[in-house]
Amino acid sequence: MSTSHIAYAVIGGTGLYQLQGLENIERVALDTPYGKPSGDVVCGDFHGRRFAFLARHGESHSLAPHRVNYRANVHALHQLGVGAVIGVNAVGGIREDMGPRVLALPDQIIDYTYGRLNSFCDVEGAEVQHVDFTEPYTASLRKALLQAAERAGVPVVDGGCYGATQGPRLETRAEIARMRRDGCDLVGMTGMPEAVLAREIGLPYACLSLVANWAAGCGDAVEISLDEIFAHLAAATAEVPKILAELP
C-alpha cells in the first residue's frame, strides 16, 4: 500500500494507542533530522480516506509527556505528506461544562511547560521563524471536526483554553486555581509544543481533547482516582472513531 495522499494523521494520546477500523495497514518506520518518532506510523484505509496514526507515548505508553520527541513526531508526519494532523489529548476539566467523558475542541492554549525542544529552529544553521500563533489551531480543521461530530451525533464542546503543563505528575489544587484565573478551561500535558511545531512546518492542526477527570479542586472529587480516569477515558475514546469517520 502506498503511503501517499494521506488525508489525515491522528496523534493518539493516553488511552488511544491504535485507530479502530483502520484497514489494509502498513507500518512505516521513519527517521527524521530530529531523531526517531515515538514509534512506527501506522497507515491505512479508514471509511474511504487514507489515515495515518501515531501513538504519542509509544504503543506501550513508555514515554512520559516531557520525554516525547515532538519534533520527530511532527516531522515524520510531514515527511509522509499528510494533509492535516489531529492531536487527541487526554485532559482534566476545569470549566463547569467540561467534566469527565466530555469531548472538546479548544481554540486557545497557554504553555506552562519548560525545557522541551519546542522549535524546528533550534538546530545549528536553521533559519529562525517567527510564526503567527494568535490562533493556535487551524480554523478550517476545527470546523471540519465540529461538523463531523454533529453528523456522527457525538456532542463536542466548541472552544476553550487548553493549559499545557509539564507532567507527568498531576497538578496541585493551587496550580489549577492559578490556571483558572489565567483563563484555562482544560489542563493537559501534551498540547505543546506539538501545536506550534505543526504551525512551523505548515501542517493544519487541531486538538480533540478527551476529559478523563476533574482537575484538582474542581468538581466533587476530593482525590483523583486513576481507576476512574481510565474508565472515563475509555468511554470518551470510543467516540473518537465515530467523529473521524465523518470527516470529509
Per-residue pLDDT band for 118 (boundaries 50, 70, 90) equals very high
**3 in any annotated domain:** no
Is 138 labelled a binding residue?
A: no
- CA separation for the pair 248, 192 (Å, rounded): 27
Res 52: pLDDT: 97
How many domains is the chain built from?
1
Reply yes or no on whether the pLDDT at 109 is more than 90. Answer: yes
Tell whether 67 is in a known binding site. no
Answering whether pTM is above 0.85, one says yes
Q: Which pLDDT does position 177 carry in this prediction?
A: 97
The residue ranking higher by pLDDT, 128 or 33, is 33
**Residue 232: all three cell numbers together:** 472515563
Q: Is 189 annotated as a binding residue?
A: yes
198 in a known ligand binding site:
no
Q: What is the pLDDT of residue 1?
A: 40
pLDDT, averaged across the chain: 94
On whether 232 is known to bind a ligand per the annotation, the reply is no
Evaluate if residue 121 carries a pLDDT over 80: yes
Query: What CATH number is associated with residue 32?
Result: 3.40.50.1580
Whether 186 is in a domain gets the answer yes
Q: Which helix (H) or strand (E) holds 195?
A: helix 194-201
For the record, the C-alpha cell of 142 comes out as 476545527
Q: What's the rounded Cα separation, in Å, for the pair 87 and 65?
A: 14
- Considering the domain boundaries, does residue 112 fall inside one? yes
What is the chain's percent helix, strand, coil content, to nearest 5?
25, 25, 50
Is 151 part of any known ligand binding site? no
The single-letter DSSP state of residue 112 is -
Which three cell numbers, joined as nine digits, stand for 86?
489531529
| Spatial contact of 65 and 111, defined as CB atoms under 8 Å apart | no
User: Would 53 be classed as within a structural domain?
Assistant: yes
In terms of Cβ atoms closer than 10 Å to its own Cβ (0-12, 13-18, 19+), residue 145 is buried
| Of the candidate ranges 12-16, 81-85, 180-184, the one whose mean pLDDT is the lowest | 12-16
Question: Looking at residues 63-77, what average pLDDT do you find?
Answer: 97
* Residue 5, pLDDT score: 87
Within-domain flag for 1: no
Backbone angles phi, psi at 4, to 5 degrees: -75, 160
pLDDT at 3 over 60: no
Residue 24 has a pLDDT of 93
What is the per-residue pLDDT across 25-38, written as a single tens digit (0 to 9) for each? 999 999 999 999 99
**Is the residue at 2 inside a domain?**
no
Phi and psi, residue 209, nearest 5°: -95, 135
The yes-or-no verdict on residue 131 having pLDDT over 50 is yes
Residues linked to residue 104 through DSSP beta bridges, in sequence order: 157, 209
Instruction: Give mean pLDDT, residues 77-91.
Output: 97
- Which helix (DSSP H) or strand (DSSP E) does residue 182 occupy? helix 173-182
Contact 210, 240 (CB under 8 A): yes
Q: Does any domain span residue 74?
A: yes
Q: Which domain holds residue 194?
A: 8-245
pLDDT of residue 4: 58
Provide the pLDDT for residue 123.
76
